[in-house]
Structure 1
Amino acid sequence: MFRTSLTAVLLSAAFIAPAAAVTNKVIFNGSVISTCLITVETPGLLSTNGALTTLSSTEAGGVSGTATILTTGGNYSLSTSAPTSFFQAPQYGDDDVTFSTQYSASGVTTLLDVVGSVTSPLGFGLTNVNVDLSATKTVGVFPAGNYIAEVTLTCE
């Protein structure tokens, strides 16, 4: 009888005593890669000077092209490359033409009228860029017609 009582007490103690809490940790991993993302926002518009020897976004009626650049790491720089010819031009419109670019920036990076081929360091985050293009006829004038040129933005 003693044995049965002891067994009953031990069994009831086992069912009454709370279980010890068990814990563990869930680990989360993540990484942000260092990147530079260029998004072209609006195209530029070329306008001519009175002598018809220059087509430029800086002439009256011209408009700068715009882009945003997002950097998620350091050591990125910005530059532009002027075209060597028009993507589209009327006959003789591409003859004897020299191109130049410049850019300005606001946001985490502030720059003003930088010559396009000059490399400028970018800050960490979002930078707004205005890009200008000038095409100059070294001989003659620009003939009537439609002109399209492409400026390359580089983030490296």
Structure 2
Amino acid sequence: MIIVNSVEEFGQRYHSAKRWRRCMEAIANLHRLNPGVCHSIGDSLVYRLVDGAAPAAECFTGNRRYVEIHYYLSGSETVAYAPKPGLQRLAPYSDETDRETFSGAVAGRHAASPGQLLIFDNDYAYQLLGSDHLRKMVLMVTIEGATFHNK
């Protein structure tokens, strides 16, 4: 998991690739988003706004074809994370959802605060520990070299 403390820092660190510039474009569209509605830019980015109570996840979640980014706007949420090789797989990987679930020991925790972006890369799984009220943007960015079988 990578912690970026602001959109400005994200833009400075991740400006070279088209997929990261598309993330900045999506963030600029934030004022037009309604909660729960998915949007996309090209074939490399899907994003949505989450607004309300966020229940705690029962297990760790990991991705293979996407990097998941959570941009926190208000509220806070604690996230547990661990390297995938040290976890036990609960269900097989689903190519349709790009999700796999795990159980096991937590390697670390981070309390996300407004303005931060948490980047969940493919080497780690994460577990959201819930929030009474949360407003965040979730971006799903394809990893380089990932292809879709139907394209």
TM-score bracket for this pair, using the shorter chain length: 0.3 to 0.5
If asked which structure has higher relative contact order (CA below 8 Å, sep 6+), I would say: 2
TM-score after normalising by structure 2: 0.34
Structure 1 or 2: larger helix share? 2
TM-score after normalising by structure 1: 0.34
Which of the pair has more CA radius of gyration?
A: 1
